[in-house]
Amino acid sequence: MKKMEEKILKEGTILPGGVLKVGSFLNQQIDTPFMKAIGMEIADLFKEEEITRILTIESSGIPIAVSAGFAMNLPVVYAKKNKSSNISGDCYSTMVHSFTHGNNNNVIVGKEYIKPDDKILIVDDFLAHGSALTGLIEIVEQAGAKVVGCVAAIEKGFQMGGDSLRKKGYKVESLAIIEEMTDTEIYFREQ
């Protein structure tokens, strides 16, 4: 998505440790017309697929998933980061390592929100090492449902999570893939 690359170049800030800050349009302030365009782009990327539900993880994935949900007329479920590791039998759960916070989160989804006959599209804001998407895939698989595909607004290709999921056979789409990021420059993968 050319507009995503342009937005990153115009408004993104490179932070130490391979982190990109996009607070002005994605992670703190939401640029609503742009968010609407993101949802429509995701709908277009997956228009051939039969999807029954969208799954994301709180909190930054939610606006993107909701925008895609509007565009595809689908319900959106988000996994919650649970403080306590004491999980009742009512939830699917897995451990997700947070790249930006450097900690592990127990992530849960109530069993009533994913059914074995669901066909799920997984959505997140960033795809870096792939821990968040892998955790969400695990939750869908615990439910006995099908992962139709995964989509990230921004993939950092140099952190390899996306390519490793593609190698495992998952359909992974990203609206922009950053191939390389120096202290001052961003280079995108041709798509």
Binding residues (CB under 6 A) for ligand 5GP: these are: 19-22, 27, 60, 99-100, 124-132, 161
Query: Between residues 24 and 27, which has the closer beta carbon with respect to ligand 5GP?
Result: 27
For β-strands 119-127 and 53-57, DSSP reports them as parallel
* Cβ 133 vs Cβ 152: under 8 Å: yes
Rounded CA-CA distance 55/27 in Å is 18
Shortest Å, Cβ 145 to ligand 5GP:
21
Angstrom distance (rounded) from CA 107 to CA 16: 27
CB of 21 or CB of 119, closer to ligand 5GP: 21
- Least separation in angstroms between residue 89's CB and ligand 5GP is 26
CA dist 34 and 40 (Å) reads 10
What CA–CA distance (Å, rounded) separates 72 from 4? 20
Minimum distance from CB of 74 to ligand 5GP (Å)? 20
- In the complex with ligand 5GP, which residue's Cβ is closer, 88 or 166? 166
**Between 72 and 79, whose beta carbon lies closer to ligand 5GP?**
79
